Amino acid sequence: AQTVTQSQPEMSVQEAETVTLSCTYDTSENNYYLFWYKQPPSRQMILVIRQEAYKQQNATENRFSVNFQKAAKSFSLKISDSQLGDTAMYFCAFIGSTSGTYKYIFGTGTRLKVLA
């Protein structure tokens, strides 16, 4: 069975500092996609960044970047120059593309608080 594990229930970081959120996953598939979603207090789920497993290059989106280690099945999110607006729940998610059905598996989330 495919699983996604986020081992840090809560984290905090000072404004302008860098923080890394961890995510590990387990799958037997070779082709898949990984995502980080942000859920601010408004509850809206917002896509932060996406990584295709076949790409060796780590994805980046402005202040957000990932460290994708396929062999270790690790997918961490680095937030640089943290801002107060980054305060949110962050969910790691996985979808396999070879199983024939497209069901997403979400981690339990990491609550990030950015301190002024």
Q: Which is nearer to another protein, 10 or 17 (CB)?
A: 10
Helix (H) and strand (E) counts in the chain: 0, 12
At position 81, the amino acid (one-letter code) is D
Q: Residue 72 corresponds to which tokens in the numbers above?
A: 């270790």
Residues that bind another protein (CB under 8 A): 33, 35, 42-45, 47, 50, 91, 93, 95, 97, 101-104, 106-109, 111
Q: Which is nearer to another protein, 71 or 103 (CB)?
A: 103
Q: How far is the CB of 93 from another protein (least distance, A)?
A: 8
CA distance 116 to 9: 21
CB of 77 to another protein, least distance (A): 15
DSSP run (H or E) holding 35: strand 32-39
**Minimum distance of another protein from residue 16's CB (angstroms):** 28
